[in-house]
Amino acid sequence: RTTRSTQVPPVTPAPTTTTTTVTEAQPQALIDRGVTAAMAEAEASRLRNGYDSNGSGPRLAQAV
């Protein structure tokens, strides 16, 4: 009696994925940083141009 040997193909491991846990605070910190930078740039631009934010012309000196 003869038996056939069946060859089993090698098992290919499943692809691995890397997951990164992100807390809610991390994206909020990035947003806050971007907003802060944008506001600082807008203020610097406004001051460089010498105009008030409402577009009425050059700002007058204000007493503090």
Q: Is the residue at 64 inside a domain? A: no
- 21-51 pLDDT tens trace: 888 899 999 999 999 999 999 989 888 887 6
Q: Is the residue at 11 inside a domain? A: no
Domain that holds residue 32: 24-48
Q: Is the residue at 9 inside a domain? A: no
Q: Is the residue at 30 inside a domain? A: yes
Q: Is the residue at 58 inside a domain? A: no
Q: Is the residue at 36 inside a domain? A: yes
Q: Is the residue at 44 inside a domain? A: yes
Helical residues (DSSP H) of the chain, grouped into ranges: 25-49
Q: Is the residue at 18 inside a domain? A: no
Q: Which residues contact 58 (CB under 8 A, 6 or more apart)?
A: 50, 51, 52
Asked if pLDDT for residue 55 goes beyond 60, the answer is no
